[in-house]
Structure 1
Amino acid sequence: MSPRMSADQRREQVIEAAMAEFAGGGYEGTSTAAIAQRVGVSQPYLFRLFPSKHALFLAAAERCFDALEQAMRDAAGGLYGGEAITAMGRRYREILAGDPTMLRFQLQIYAAALVDGEVKRIGNRRWGQLWRTISELSGEDAAEVMRFISVGMLLNVLTAFDVPYVPGEKLPASLDAWAREVRE
């Protein structure tokens, strides 16, 4: 028998489960029953931790951004300039390759933001925070931060559509070669 968890520990576990469930089904397609079942708690207990499905989705969105920001901090780890940018880019590619839940949930957050003002506000605030973090960690100017984030968003699309690519300086040429070969 496992030891009893505190409400805070269980709350963390529920957020992680919610990220995985929302990643697969989106906000509308995910039931709180599925999240509760994944964690092994009752639905009424889940609602003691989070007052609504919406509150849980917002907490999961915050956690997703927290994880992205922490991954960038860990990757930069004392590096600066181009070395920090390269390390953060490498880490993001590792996340995309190793954790499909993270990308799927990011895409669900973007979709929800189109119809949900609270999700949009969180996304707006957290994208600004992520931009500042990348800028501060790398010391790079706005144009380089924009390039870095733009490539990251492109990698999201490439990963979602399973487009083969070579990272780094060879990315444009590898995409051009792929685009010229792909046919219906």
Structure 2
Amino acid sequence: MARMSAEERRESVVRAAMAEFARGGYHGTSTESIAKRVGVSQPYLFRLFPGKRAIFLAAAEQCVEDIHRVFAEAAEGVEGEEALHAMGEAYHRMVSEHPERLMMQMQMFLAVAAAEQEGDHEFGEAVRAGWMRLWDTVHLPLGADVGETTTFMAYGMLINCLVAMGFPPEHRVWAGMESAEGGEGGSGNGS
């Protein structure tokens, strides 16, 4: 079995960190659990990253990049209503197939809120920059329409909340999503 390069090991740490932070949040996840998941020692982990905060931010950046890629690929070559539905369906598929990305998003929002309450505004800047990148990725295929982009992102956040709370696809709370698909501003994200 070939040895991993430092960059490959770093990538595996970021993926492991995403799974651990998704499960336990920023404050509830130890660097020891991340190191254990990836199969490295804590000292090695800190040779790759200066600390837990850097690991979390790298995991957050990867999470946003994964979502950005899903939206960009889904919207390639389409725009307007077609892009809206393609991105919505791709996002729903991603959330279903990779729930750790959804939970990592939720943990990112909580970590930023906690940091802001403690007066740490720098922590949130990186996460907000990622969010703005997602906004821009969605905004252009939707015709640069602020209302459409806002509606799409709002439906996405509702999906995040419903999935995070464990509502099964057949639950009645999803009915509004299904009816929104045919109406104006519907994202097509519903199950």
Instruction: Decide whether aligned partners of structure 1 residues 3 and 125 sit closer, same or farther in structure 2, where only a CA change above 3 A counts.
Output: same
Q: Which residue number corresponds to residue 175 of structure 1?
A: none
Cα deviation code 1:18-58 (max 9, x no counterpart): 00001111111111111111111111111000010111001
> In terms of mean alpha carbon deviation, does 99-108 or 135-144 score higher?
135-144
Aligned: 1:143 with 2:147:
yes
Aligned: 1:55 with 2:54:
yes
TM-score, normalising length: structure 2 = 0.84
Identity %: 46
For 1:167 and 1:92, the matched residues in 2 are separated by 17
Q: Which residue number corresponds to residue 132 of structure 1?
A: 136
For 1:9 and 1:86, the matched residues in 2 are separated by 35
Runs of 4+ in 1 over 3 A off after TM superposition: 166-169
Structure 2 residues not aligned, in runs of 5+: 116-120, 182-191
For 1:32 and 1:145, the matched residues in 2 are separated by 37
Counterparts in 2 of 1:8-157, with a 5 A limit?
A: 8-116=7-115, 117-157=121-161
**Which of 140, 146, 170 is matched with 2:179 structurally?**
170
Alpha carbon RMSD of aligned pairs, Å? 1.6
TM-score, normalising length: structure 1 = 0.87
Alignment size in residue pairs: 171
Q: Could you tell me how far 1:140 is from its partner in structure 2?
A: 4.2
For 1:81 and 1:140, the matched residues in 2 are separated by 9
Contact in 2 for aligned 1:75/1:84 (Cα 8 Å)? yes
For 1:67 and 1:147, the matched residues in 2 are separated by 21
For 2:17 and 2:155, the matched residues in 1 are separated by 28
Q: Could you tell me how far 1:162 is from its partner in structure 2?
A: 2.6
For 2:43 and 2:82, the matched residues in 1 are separated by 49
Which letter does structure 1 place at the counterpart of 2:133? Q
Cα deviation code 1:160-182 (max 9, x no counterpart): 2233224755259xxxxxxxxxx
Which letter does structure 2 place at the counterpart of 1:128? M
For 2:132 and 2:53, the matched residues in 1 are separated by 22
